[in-house]
A and B are shown apart, each in its own frame.
Chain A
Amino acid sequence: MDFSLDKKHEMARNLFRDFAENEVKPLAQEVDETEAFPQGTVDKMAKYGFMGIPVPKEYGGQGCDPLTYVMCVEELSKVCGTTGVIVSAHTSLCIDPILTYGTEEQKQKYVVPLAKGEKLGAFGLTEPGAGTDAQGCQTKAVLDGDEWVINGSKCFITNGKVADVYIVIAVTSVTEDKRGRKKKNFSAFIVEKGAPGFSFGTKEKKMGIRGSSTYELIFEDCRIPKENLLGPEGKGFPIAMHTLDGGRIGIAAQALGIAEGALERAIAYTKERKQFGRTIAQQQNTQFKLADMATRVEAAKLLVYQAAIAKGTQKVYSIEAAKAKLFAAETAMAVTTEVVQLFGGYGYIREYDVERMMRDAKITEIYEGTSEVQRMVIAGALLK
């Protein structure tokens, strides 16, 4: 077992780190303050191939592996959680399902411009009445001639409104099992911005990742071509769950990055801040806290990288993804909270990055499956 990164991954990490420091970090505070989607940064990331890292070259991508992609999200999130999730939702939740379940025509039509960053992607599963319980979904799609007609709404959609391509999960039939219980059958669809009957609700005002564009998607007799069904009809639920397995690795990487970023700032700050005639880093209380945080961050990193490698080598990686997301998200929350405490009053004001990091960290315990869902997935596998 070798835990060291090879040369290409080392070089890729340096690239992502340089880009994040030079292009993303200077804007992070403003993006948070103004809640403005960082389109300029997304354009730059597109130019350098960051929007299609794990996508094969024949589909416009960089031909790298999931680990490289994960390191990109991690390094971006060290300085700006918003930028990290934009790349994660686009890559894991929109490109990945088309690449995995799409026809050759769908891959050429959608994956190529998405991977080149000419278009941005999003994914819509959650509804006002359906979060963890996906069976609560109300959005329906009915085939009418050569078109699917979608009615309903999706909420809390990352990259909403700014994205050009949306993967939408909708109910396409209801069947009864042997005991007469009704069961919804879902299908996945590719919906383009501008489709007739497709509009956006209000923009969500969030606690953290405030530059990320979060909108409600509204479908009112929205008509899309028949060929925009993604994968087989009725297989939308497993497609959504498999997509979320990949998405969780991206969010785990975001959480890992936020934790690492906060820890780096804590190390720098505690070496400078003086109280009682010496730096607070010289106090044993601080040292023990830093040691605990560093150990926890390292453990999170190993889980996240293990999940990324599993995604590149295994067909099923739900458990690895769930463990990585659970531990990395809770690490991000614990570490950022502790770092704010180490900063004292300065940690609580917006001039310093760490309060933003604490607000950004919280969402990683919630979206793409709450920590409770991750525990359900892990326990389910243990008790099978």
Chain B
Amino acid sequence: MKIIVCVKQVPDTKGGVKFNPDGTLDRAAMLTIMNPDDKAGLEAALKLKDEYGAEVTVLTMGLPKADDVLREALAMGADKGILVTDRVLGGADTWATSTTIAGAIRNLEYDLIITGRQAIDGDTAQVGPQIAEHLGLPVISYAQDIKVEGNSVVVQRQYEDGYHVLKAQMPCLITALSELNEPRYMTPGGIFDALEQEVTVWGRANLVDVDDSNLGLKGSPTKIAKASDKVRKGAGEKVVLDTDEAVAYLMGKFKEKHII
């Protein structure tokens, strides 16, 4: 089985988010990590490798320093790393990003593509399903459990109040939740090997079946008006009432806010 895992290097929001004066993220001033949902996707791929045997290729699109997340993935047990980087690909929104990644993946053989559900810097959850759309693959999003049965995957898709069990024939694409698993640590020897290993670097010229008009900032239909850190919610209102009074109080509030 051949598995491609798409990962993204994102700012470590634990240390707080910093912005440039123009409202864009000041990435240079922030520490970076592998996006948590992507890391869960990688762990899922490595578990499938442990259980069924697989070749795991990790692919990222980003600045040259995104090489760091590939090395981390290799030190965790991935087999190959591919970095897609090119100045003309900069400033990409989800459409241009998914176009780029799909263009890179067209060079590769695969049975399964795993992406994270969403990245903690953009929180769109669009790139994974868009890649599937570009490649004409079935997609199962919000995976909380993945199993392989013959030529198919059986996936638990998380919902707020439960989960659906979906089966899809491979090749297909799955988007993973960070709740899917507890990603393994790197090993010291894995780190030493990962830094010796060759990582494939691709640019625009290596992308297959993509049009320049769909790449980079120019190919991005999304225009960001303003970006901000998470807005803290107020403390809310606390009331202590008995059951009947509480129901009446809530109904009143719902009506007041035109919820019902």
What is the CB-to-nearest-CB distance from A11 to chain B, in angstroms, rounded to a whole number? 5
Cβ-defined contact, A8 with B189, below 8 A: no
Cβ-defined contact, A11 with B189, below 8 A: no
What residues of A have a CB within 8 angstroms of the CB of B186 in the complex? 11, 15, 48
Cβ-defined contact, B187 with A11, below 8 A: no
* Total chain B interface residues with beta-carbon distance under 8 A: 13
What is the CB-to-nearest-CB distance from B31 to chain A, in angstroms, rounded to a whole number? 10
What is the CB-to-nearest-CB distance from A36 to chain B, in angstroms, rounded to a whole number? 23
* Total chain A interface residues with beta-carbon distance under 8 A: 18
Residues A11 and B71 in contact in the complex (CB < 8 Å), given A62-B192, A63-B192? yes
Give 1 or 0 for each of A1-45: 1 = CB within 8 Å of chain B CB.
000000110011001001100000000000000000000000000
Cβ-defined contact, A12 with B191, below 8 A: yes
Is A49 in the interface zone, CB < 8 Å from B?
yes
Q: How far is the CA of A49 from the CA of B72 in the complex (A)?
A: 16
Cβ-defined contact, B188 with A49, below 8 A: yes
What residues of B have a CB within 8 angstroms of the CB of A72 in the complex? 188
What residues of A have a CB within 8 angstroms of the CB of B71 in the complex? 11
What is the CB-to-nearest-CB distance from A88 to chain B, in angstroms, rounded to a whole number? 15
Is B75 in the interface zone, CB < 8 Å from A?
yes
Cβ-defined contact, A8 with B185, below 8 A: no
What is the CB-to-nearest-CB distance from B12 to chain A, in angstroms, rounded to a whole number? 12
Cβ-defined contact, B189 with A15, below 8 A: no
Residues A62 and B195 in contact in the complex (CB < 8 Å), given A11-B71, A11-B72, A11-B75? no
- Highest count of chain A CB atoms <10 Å: which of B71, B72, B190, B192: B192
Query: Chain B residue with minimal CB distance to A18?
Result: B185
Q: How far is the CA of A50 from the CA of B190 in the complex (A)?
A: 12
Query: Chain A residue with minimal CB distance to B187?
Result: A49
Chain A at the B interface: mostly helix, strand, loop or mixed? helix
Within 8 A of B (CB), among A52-77: 53, 57, 61-64, 68, 72
What is the CB-to-nearest-CB distance from B179 to chain A, in angstroms, rounded to a whole number? 17
Tell which of A7, A8, A48 touches B187, judged by Cβ atoms closer than 8 Å. Answer: A48
Residues A49 and B189 in contact in the complex (CB < 8 Å), given A7-B195, A8-B195? yes
What residues of A have a CB within 8 angstroms of the CB of B192 in the complex? 8, 12, 62-64, 68
Q: How far is the CA of A57 from the CA of B72 in the complex (A)?
A: 20
Query: Chain A residue with minimal CB distance to B75?
Result: A11
What residues of B have a CB within 8 angstroms of the CB of A18 in the complex? 185
Give 1 or 0 for each of A68-105: 1 = CB within 8 Å of chain B CB.
10001000000000000000000000000000000000
A-B pairs, top 10 by smallest CB distance, nearest first, are A62-B189, A49-B187, A62-B188, A11-B191, A8-B195, A64-B188, A15-B186, A48-B185, A63-B189, A53-B188
- Highest count of chain B CB atoms <10 Å: which of A15, A50, A63, A64: A15
Cβ-defined contact, A50 with B188, below 8 A: yes
Q: How far is the CA of A15 from the CA of B195 in the complex (A)?
A: 14
What is the CB-to-nearest-CB distance from A56 to chain B, in angstroms, rounded to a whole number? 10
What residues of A have a CB within 8 angstroms of the CB of B188 in the complex? 12, 15, 48-50, 53, 62, 64, 68, 72
Cβ-defined contact, B195 with A19, below 8 A: no
Cβ-defined contact, B189 with A19, below 8 A: no
What residues of B have a CB within 8 angstroms of the CB of A7 in the complex? 195
Query: Chain A residue with minimal CB distance to B191?
Result: A11
Cβ-defined contact, B189 with A61, below 8 A: yes
Within 8 A of A (CB), among B189-214: 189-192, 195
